[in-house]
Chain A
Amino acid sequence: MIERTGWLLDIYTHPQDGVVVWLLDEDGTRRRLRQTLPVIFFAAGPPERLRLLWRFLGEQPQPPQLSRAERRDLFNPEPFPVLAIQVENPATQPLLFNRVAAAFPDLVYYDADLPISLRHAALYGTFPLARCQVAIDEGEKIASLFTLDSPWELDLPVPPLRILSLEPDVDPFHATPCYLNITCQRSSYRLALSPPRPMLVNLSAILQRHDPDLLLTTWGDTWLLPRLLELSEQNNIPLPLNRETGLGIAYRKERSYFTYGQIIYRGGQILLSGRWHIDAHNAMLFHDYGMEGIFELARVTALPVQTVARVSPGSGISAMQMQTALRQGILIPWHKQQSESPKTALELMRADHGGLVYQPLIGLHQDVAEIDFISMYPSIMVRFNISPETVGQESPTAELIPELALVVEQEHPGLVPRTLAPLLKKRLALKRRLADLPAWHPRRTSYKAYASAHKWLLVTCFGYLGYKNARFGRIEAHEAVTAFGREVLLRAKETAEDMGFTVLHMYVDGLWVKKEGLCQPADFQPLLAEIAGRTGLPIALEGVYRWVAFLSSRQNERVPVANRYFGVFQDGSLKMRGIETRRRDTPRFIAETQEQMLLCLGQAERACELELYLPQVFSLLRRQIAALRNGKAPLQHLLVSQKLSRTLPEYRSPSPAARALQQLQNIQKTLKPGQCVRFIYTRGEPGVHAWDLPEPPDPDCVDVQRYTNLLIRAASTILQPLGVSETALRDRLLAGLIAQENLFETRSTLPAWHSLQPPA
C-alpha cells in the first residue's frame, strides 16, 4: 500500500470498476484509481407493495442487497419505514432504478437519481480540485481517502493543470473553417481540416503527447467535436478525446427552454471522462466569470467541472442542498411532493408579491449615496431561518411574519439556511478582502470571478424556493422571503427618513438617498449602522454618486421608470442601467458612442458643471454621424444581434429579425429559439442583411438613416435629463447648427416639476 497526496480531477462510475477517481498527484502523474462505493436508494409505500418490490428485486440478474430501514424526510420529523436497496456498482443503479420505477410507479422513491460526485462529496467531503490524501492498494484501488481542503477557504490554489485549447479559424456558423488552431503549454499547432486523415493522425498524436486535463474549445459542443468525431469514424482513425479508454463519449442534446421571462438556447453537449471538455461558447456565464468562476462553482457545489460549466446556477444550488440533506440523513425525494396550501383570496393578494420597486424622482441629483443590502434574500433566509420545512411550523420560538400571518420556526436551523450560511460567509469575507486589496493586486481578478459565481448561486437559491420542480421548494417559503424583503426595505426607508435623508429611489434591496451637506462615504456610515441595527441584515455603501440621473419613460416624460438611470461615482466610474449601451441588441457603434458621451460628461465634478461638457458631446456626436455617412463605421460594429423568441412560422409580423432568419433559412441555415440572429440594416427591401449569409453585405447598402436615428435616440437618452429633447437634438445635429445658446432655449419648454430638487 502506498500513500499519495494530490488534487481530485474527476469522479465517475464505470461498468466494471465501480467508481473511478482521477487524481493529479503532487509528483505530476495523473492517477486513475478505483473505489468501491455501494449506493443505496429507498422506496416507501404500502407494506404489501414493498413486499412485491422486494420479490421483484430478488429476481433481478444481479439482485441488490435489501433491508428494511427507518428514515425521515424533510417534512416529516418522525422516521417512517422504507425499503433500502443497496447496489454494489453505482454504474448499474440508474438502469435498475428505471426498471423499478416502471414496474412500481405508485411507490415513492428517495435518493434515486443522485450524481455519484454528490454522494462522494457527502461521504468524504470531496470536491473538484480538492487536495486529497489517499492510501492505494495494489490494483490502483483506494483503501482510504481524506480530503485536506475545505471548499470554504478563500485561497485555494489551482493545481498545475494542462490545458489544451482547440478552435476553428473562423466561426463555423458564419463561414466554413479551414484550419484548426491548437495551443498547449508552450506549443501551438495549425492543422488543415482537409484532408481529414493527416489532420486526425496529427491531432491524435498531439492529444497523446500533451495528455491535457482540460480541453478548452470554442464551438466544441455545437460544431467542432461532433465534426471531429464524425470524421474520425468515417476515416476509422480513433481520436483519444477521452482519457478513460473504453468508455464512450457522453452526448446531451440541444434544447430551448423558457425561464424568467426569456427563452434560452442551450447547445448540445459533449462530456468526456477523465478529462474535462469546456466549450467557451456553450458554457453558462463563461463571459461573466471565466475558468476561475467555473472552478469556484465546482468547489462549492461539488459538481464535476465540466458539468458545472454548463448547468444553470439553479442546479448548483440544488446540488448543495442535496449534500446538506445527505449529510443530515434526510431523504431526497425523486419528485417533489409538496403542493401549495390553500389560501383565501385576500391572503393570496398579500402573499403573491415580489420585492418593492419604487418609481424614482425623475431628473438629475447630486451627491447621492446608493446603499444595498448584501445578498438580501439569502441573508433573510439565513437570518430568519426560512426553509421549506420551517415555514408554517408552530413552536415556542417561532417568529411571526405579520404581513402573511405565517410563523417561521426558529429553533432548528432549516435545510436552506444551513446550506447557504457558509456560502454567505465566504461571500462576505470575499467582499471584505476585495475592499482591502489595491486595484493592481493580481488576486483581484480571481476574487471578482468567485464573487460573480457566488452571486449567481445566491440569486437562484431564492427562485428555487418557489420553483415548482425544485425538490426542496415551497411557495410559502418563497413568499416569506419577499415579505421579509419588503419589511426590511421599508424599515430602511423609515430609518433614512428619521435621520433626515431624502429617499430618491428604492429597488428591492437598494436605496438611493441624499442629505444636504453629506457627500463623503464616511458621512453615510451612521445611516448604514442604524439600518443594520434595525433590520439585522448586512448593508453596504455601493458608492456615492457625484451625480445621477433617473430617466422617465419614452412614452410619457412624467412617468418615471424604475430601472433606467446613469450616474458617475466619486472615483469617476460610471454606472448605467436600462439604457441602450446595456442592451444586447444595440449595435456596438451606438453603444460605444453612448459610453463615450457618458465618459465625457463624467468629467463633471458637479451636476451644475455638466453644461460645460455639452460642446464636447455634440462634436463627438457630429463626428460619429459623419463616420456613419462616410462609411467609416466598421460593418461589424453596426451588427444588430437579436435573440429569437420563436421559430420562423410563429412570427406573425415580418420583424427585421424574422426577415434575417428567413434569409438564413433560404440557404438551409437554421437557428433555434433562444439563439441570436445577427444582421445589418440595409436600404430598400428587405431592409436587413443576415450576417451569417455567405456573401458579405455591400457597405454602400447600409441604411445610414436608420443608424443615425438609433444614434440620436441613444444620445437623447443621455441628454434628456440635461433638458435637451430628442427633437431639438435631431434638428440641430442634422442641420449641423449646434449653437449652444439655441440648445439651451429648449430648456425653457421644460415643465416646472422638472427641477433638480425633488418635490417637497
Chain B
Amino acid sequence: MGRTLPSITQVFLQEQESFARFRRALRRSDQLALDDLFAAAHQHLAAAAYAAHALPFEVFLLAMLLEEHKEVLRLRRLLESALPASDD
C-alpha cells in the first residue's frame, strides 16, 4: 500500500517545519500566536486535501484567514450586542 503522494497531513507538517527558523527567531508571545495560526489551518485539512491544489500552502494561508475572519465576525457580533445601537 504505497502512496505516490504524501498525505495532506504530511504536507502540512512539512510546511510547518519549513518555518521552524522563522518561528525560532520570533518572541515567545509571537511564537504562540503563530502556533494558533497553524492550528487554525489544521482544522481544514480535509478541505485542503479535497482541493488538491498544486501549492498547498496557499490553501493553508486561506484556511488561516478563514478562521481569523470567523473570529472577527464573532467579536463583531459580541460588540454589537454589547454596545447600544448608534444612530449614525
Contacts and interface: CB of A to CB of B under 8 A. Distances in A.
A365 interface: no
A486 B3 CA distance: 18
A352 B35 contact: no
Given A559-B42, A759-B74, A760-B70, A356 B49 contact: yes
A447 to B, nearest CB: 31
B61 to A, nearest CB: 18
A259 B1 contact: yes
A357 interface: yes
Contacts of B44: 359
A759 B70 contact: yes
A146 B52 CA distance: 55
Nearest to A260: B1
Given A261-B1, A353-B52, A556-B35, A359 B46 contact: yes
Contacts of B74: 759-760
B42 to A, nearest CB: 5
Interface string B1-37: 1011100000000000000000000000000000110
A346 interface: yes
A348 interface: yes
Contacts of B70: 759-760
Contacts of A260: 1
Interface in A488-519: 490, 506
B3 A352 contact: yes
B39 interface: yes
A490 B77 CA distance: 30
Given A760-B70, A760-B74, A349 B52 contact: yes
A490 B47 CA distance: 10
A560 interface: yes
Given A359-B43, A560-B43, A759-B74, A463 B49 contact: no
A600 B36 CA distance: 35
Contacts of B3: 352
A632 interface: no
Interface string A347-371: 0111011001111000000000000
B54 interface: yes
A490 B49 CA distance: 13
A345 B74 CA distance: 40
Contacts of A506: 46
A467 B39 CA distance: 35
Contacts of A346: 54
A90 B74 CA distance: 75
Nearest to B36: A558
Most buried by A among B36, B49, B54: B49
B65 interface: no
Nearest to A463: B1
Given A348-B5, A760-B70, A760-B74, A356 B50 contact: yes
A260 B2 CA distance: 9
A235 B48 CA distance: 69
B45 A352 contact: no
B4 A348 contact: yes
Interface in A374-389: none
Interface string A109-141: 000000000000000000000000000000000
A556 B5 contact: no
Nearest to A466: B1
B62 interface: no
Given A358-B46, A506-B46, A558-B36, A352 B73 contact: no
Interface string A726-760: 00000000000000000000000000000000011
A412 to B, nearest CB: 30
Contacts of A359: 42-46
Contact of B39 (A350, A486, A558): A558
Given A349-B52, A558-B39, A759-B74, A356 B1 contact: no
A123 B42 CA distance: 55
Interface string A397-418: 0000000000000000000000
B49 A556 contact: no
A195 B78 CA distance: 85
B46 A356 contact: yes
Contacts of B73: 760
A12 to B, nearest CB: 33
B46 to A, nearest CB: 4
B82 to A, nearest CB: 15
Contacts of A556: 35, 39
Contacts of B45: 357, 359
A359 B63 CA distance: 13
Contacts of A490: 50
Most buried by B among A345, A346, A348, A357: A357
Interface string B60-88: 00000000001001100100000000000
Interface in A432-482: 463, 466-467
Contacts of A356: 46, 49-50
A259 B2 CA distance: 10
Nearest to A362: B43
A558 B33 CA distance: 12
A560 B35 CA distance: 14
Contacts of A559: 39, 42-43
5 closest cross-chain pairs (CB), A and B = A558-B39, A358-B46, A352-B5, A350-B52, A349-B52
Given A349-B54, A760-B73, 18 more contacts: A348-B4, A349-B5, A350-B52, A352-B3, A352-B4, A353-B50, A357-B45, A357-B49, A359-B42, A359-B44, A359-B45, A466-B1, A486-B50, A558-B36, A560-B43, A759-B74, A760-B74, A760-B77
22 contacts: A261-B1, A345-B54, A348-B4, A348-B5, A349-B5, A349-B52, A349-B54, A352-B3, A353-B50, A356-B50, A357-B45, A357-B46, A359-B46, A486-B50, A490-B50, A556-B39, A558-B36, A558-B39, A559-B42, A759-B74, A760-B70, A760-B77
